[in-house]
C-alpha cells in the first residue's frame, strides 16, 4: 500500500485545479481528514476520479506528517495547501536554474569580497538575526511560479540596503521576472540569483509598490514604473560577491557584518513542503542537487545544534512565519552553502 502511495506522489500529471489553489496559501490548523482539508482550503475537483486521486496523495502525506511528529525530533511537519499535490506540481516552485546564457555572463565576473567589519571568528556574535534588527521584509508568496530566484535576489538586497540606510524598502520581484530574460533568467520557469544581481548592476530594480508581483511573467515595464524621477524608485548596486562553496564561516561573517545572503538549497523532499517548525534535519535533502533559492538572514544555536535562519517564498503561513531553521556547520546541509552570493552597494 505504501509503495502505491509513493508512486502516486511521484506521478507527473499536472492539474490546473491544484495549481490555481496556489493563488493563496491559507493557514491550516488541525486538519483531521481529507474532507476537513477540502473545507479549509476550498479546493474543488472536476470529478470523483480526480478527487480519489487527490485523496490518495493527501493520505500519503498525512502519514508522513503523523509519523514524523510522533517520532519526535528537531523539526515538525503539518498539512498545508501542498498536501494534495504531486511532486511534479510542487516542483514548479523550485526555480533555481542555471542557464547557458547566464553562465556566459557570470563567467566574466571578477569576484571581490569586501572586507567584513569583523573578520576574525572570535569577534563574531554567537547568534545574529537581521529580522531582529528590522532588516527583513515579511515572507512573500511566489504562487504557482518558479520565481524563487527573484525573491532570493531582492531579499538579500533589501537587507543590505537596510544596513546601509537604516530603511527597509521592499523591492520588486516582478521587475526581475519581466525584464531579466537577457541575463539568463526565465521568469516563472526559473533563474538564478547571480543573474538577478547582474541585471540590477546594469539596470537597477524598482520598488515593489511601483511594480507589484503578479505570479506570472509579463511585459517589461521598468521604464514606465520609474516615473518622472527615476532616482527615487530605482535601486542599483556596484557589483556582487560570491562565497566559496562550502565556506560556512565566511557566510557567518558576511551575515553578521554586511547583510543577508542569497543562496540555493535542495527543497525537493516532501518534508520540506510540509515543514512547520524546528531545525530541519531530514537527510533526504542531501541526496540531490540544489533546486530552490532562498535568503539566509541569520544564524544561531539551540540545544547544541547550530542553525541558519532561512527566508522562504511560500508565504507567512508556511514554516515559522515563512522562515525555516536549517543545520549549520553540517557539511552544507541541503546544499545551503554551495551557491551563496550578496550585493555590493
Residues acting as catalytic residues: 148, 292, 312
For 84, half-sphere exposure in the C-beta direction (CA atoms, 13 angstrom radius) is 28
Q: Find out whether 314 and 139 touch, Cβ atoms under 8 Å.
A: yes
Report how far apart the first and last C-alpha atoms of the chain are (Å, whole number).
55
- The answer for residues whose C-beta is within 8 angstroms of residue 274's C-beta and 6 or more apart is 61, 64, 65, 77, 78, 79, 80, 82, 83
Q: What angle do CA 75, 76, 82 make, to 5 degrees?
A: 125
For 273, half-sphere exposure in the C-beta direction (CA atoms, 13 angstrom radius) is 26
Integer-rounded Cα radius of gyration of the chain: 20
Alpha carbons 31 and 37: distance in angstroms, whole number:
6
Q: Find out whether 330 and 301 touch, Cβ atoms under 8 Å.
A: no
C-alpha cell at 345: 552597494
Alpha carbons 225 and 203: distance in angstroms, whole number:
13
To which residue does cell 564561516 refer? Answer: 249
Q: Find out whether 115 and 258 touch, Cβ atoms under 8 Å.
A: no
C-alpha cell at 126: 554567537
Alpha helices in the chain, H assignment, sequence order:
2-10, 16-20, 34-41, 48-71, 87-90, 100-106, 130-133, 148-165, 173-179, 193-203, 222-226, 248-257, 270-273
Amino acid at each position: 500500500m505504501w509503495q502505491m502511495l509513493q508512486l502516486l506522489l511521484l506521478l507527473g500529471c499536472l492539474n490546473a485545479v491544484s495549481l490555481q489553489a496556489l493563488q493563496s496559501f491559507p493557514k491550516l490548523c488541525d486538519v483531521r481528514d481529507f474532507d476537513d482539508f477540502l473545507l479549509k482550503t476550498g479546493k474543488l475537483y472536476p470529478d470523483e476520479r480526480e478527487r480519489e486521486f487527490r485523496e490518495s496523495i493527501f493520505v500519503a502525506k498525512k502519514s508522513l506528517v503523523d509519523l514524523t511528529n510522533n517520532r519526535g525530533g528537531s523539526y515538525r511537519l503539518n498539512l498545508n495547501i501542498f498536501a494534495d499535490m504531486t511532486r511534479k506540481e510542487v516542483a514548479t516552485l523550485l526555480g533555481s536554474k542555471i542557464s547557458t546564457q547566464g553562465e556566459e555572463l557570470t563567467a566574466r565576473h571578477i569576484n571581490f569580497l569586501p572586507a567584513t567589519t569583523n573578520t576574525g571568528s572570535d569577534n563574531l556574535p554567537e547568534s545574529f538575526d537581521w529580522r531582529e534588527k528590522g532588516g527583513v521584509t515579511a515572507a512573500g508568496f511566489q504562487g504557482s511560479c518558479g520565481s524563487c530566484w527573484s525573491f532570493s535576489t531582492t531579499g538579500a538586497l533589501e537587507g543590505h540596503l537596510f544596513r546601509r540606510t537604516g530603511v527597509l524598502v521592499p523591492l520588486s520581484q516582478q521587475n526581475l521576472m519581466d525584464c531579466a530574460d537577457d541575463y539568463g533568467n526565465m521568469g516563472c520557469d526559473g533563474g538564478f540569483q547571480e543573474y538577478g544581481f547582474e541585471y540590477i548592476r546594469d539596470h537597477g530594480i524598482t520598488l515593489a509598490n511601483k511594480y507589484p508581483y503578479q505570479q506570472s511573467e509579463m511585459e517589461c515595464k521598468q521604464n514606465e514604473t520609474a516615473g518622472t524621477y527615476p532616482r527615487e524608485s530605482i535601486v542599483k548596486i556596484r557589483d556582487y560577491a560570491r562565497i566559496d562553496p562550502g565556506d560556512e564561516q565566511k557566510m557567518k561573517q558576511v551575515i553578521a557584518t554586511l547583510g543577508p545572503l542569497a543562496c540555493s538549497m535542495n527543497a525537493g523532499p516532501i518534508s520540506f513542503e510540509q515543514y512547520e517548525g524546528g531545525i530541519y534535519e531530514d537527510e533526504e535533502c542531501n541526496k540531490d542537487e540544489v533546486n530552490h533559492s532562498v535568503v539566509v538572514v541569520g544564524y544561531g544555536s539551540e540545544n547544541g545544534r547550530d542553525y541558519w535562519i532561512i527566508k522562504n517564498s511560500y508565504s507567512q503561513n508556511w514554516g515559522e512565519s515563512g522562515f525555516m531553521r536549517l543545520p549549520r556547520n553540517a557539511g552544507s546541509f541541503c546544499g545551503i552553502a554551495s551557491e551563496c552570493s550578496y550585493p555590493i552597494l
